[in-house]
Amino acid sequence: MEIYFFTYLVLACSGLVSLHLTSRSSIGLAVPGLFLMFYQMGFRWEMGTDWKVYYRNYLDTTDIGQALVNSLIGFEPAYGFLTVFSHGLSLGYTGFLVLNAFIFYALSFSAIKTYSPYPVVSLLLFYGLTIGVLGSNRQLLAVAVCLFSLRYVLSRESAKFLVAILFASLFHMSALLFVVYYFLDRHL
């Protein structure tokens, strides 16, 4: 539990300092917090109610055929392909979790630093909103792709946005709900 409080403290202190800097120069202050967040997501073991289900899925999904079979019983295909890719690199389950964490935080922080005038403060809020769902591997990967796709909403590139959302739905079907965001950038 202490690691979560410590992470909040690091992000809060960094966020306070960053308020006095330009957005560009405050990015470096996000590194310690991002490292702690990455560590918590990538190196967690036996945390969360469905950890055993994800672990068993990882052990069982060693080839594309099994990934496709698993997609029929609840594990979307892109998640299965990522699992097979991880097996191909001989990463083990911890390596797979690290890969998940890297993808999630790289895409999420890319969106945060692109759109927030205070990226470190936004990272603190983001951490607070996602800490309870850190074990939701598939859904978090979908969320990260959706956050990344916001750039296509703002640039009015509807085809790219829809492709990104469809891709995100291959990690978790709930990503399809994100289509609503395309219509929120309109004057009513």
Task: Provide mean pLDDT across the span 126-131.
Answer: 89
Residue 90, phi-psi category: left (phi > 0), alpha (psi -120 to 50), beta (remainder): left
Is the model's pTM score more than 0.85?
yes
Pick the most confident of 3-17, 50-64, 96-110: 96-110
With CA atoms as reference, report the closest residue to 104 among 61, 181, 42, 11. 42
What percentage of the chain has pLDDT greater than the value 90? 50
3-state secondary structure 87-128: HHCCCHHHHHHHHHHHHHHHHHHHHHHHHCCCHHHHHHHHHH
Average pLDDT of the chain is 89
Residue pair 43/98 in contact (Cβ under 8 Å)? The answer is yes
Residue pair 141/105 in contact (Cβ under 8 Å)? The answer is no
Residue 188 has pLDDT above 50, yes or no: no
Give the model's pLDDT for residue 169. Answer: 95
Residue 130 has pLDDT above 60, yes or no: yes
Q: CA torsion sign, 19 to 143 to 104 to 5? A: positive
Residue 186 has pLDDT above 70, yes or no: no
